Amino acid sequence: MNTKLSITLIAFLLFGGTFYFFAKSSSESPINKTVPQQDEGLSVEAFTKKVSTKEKIVLVYFHADWCVPCIKLKPIIDQIEKEQSKVVEILELDVDENPKIAIHFEINALPLFMIYKDGKKVWDHNAFLTKDELLGRINLYKVQ
């Protein structure tokens, strides 16, 4: 048998077999299987209940893991939550984990802040804010 033909035949068998193996494996991969419906997060009714407190104002913070300003805001939100726990309750909502709420509020940009007092939205803001700016808003609406 010709050496060139032998090498070609061996290469075909090796690569053809490898291709068949990967093609067969990929058709059985979890990617091609039906994935159960993911949890749709907080319902609009549950959201309304959470922001209806009379004891504190509620700062709602809509964010996402992929949002760079949101990532920068995380330590600020954590500080405010610790420092202002007597006057404000912070409700952090990831829009990817709470699609019903994101659709309900027609959220198309992040970060988004809302302040609720006595169950009513009294303020919203759609952009990055400094800690001082957020505290200024909280102080305007805090329950006396």
Task: Give 53-76 pLDDT, tens digit per residue.
Answer: 888 999 999 999 999 999 999 999
67 is catalytic: yes
If one counts every other C-beta atom within 10 angstroms of the C-beta of residue 99, the result is 15
Catalytic residue from among 67, 73, 77, 112? 67
User: What single letter denotes the amino acid at residue 46?
Assistant: A
Extended strands (E) in the chain = 57-63, 88-94, 112-117, 120-125
Confidence class for position 40, pLDDT limits 50, 70, 90: confident
Catalytic residue from among 51, 58, 70, 115? 70
Is the pLDDT reported for residue 142 higher than 90? no
d(CA 71, CA 67): 6
pTM of this structure: 0.71
CB distance 98 to 42 below 8 Å: yes
Name the CATH topology of 44-141: Glutaredoxin (3.40.30)
70 is catalytic: yes
Confidence class for position 30, pLDDT limits 50, 70, 90: very low
Distances from the Cα of 130 to the Cα of 79, 103, 133, angstroms = 12, 27, 5
What ranges do the domains of the chain cover? 3-32, 44-141
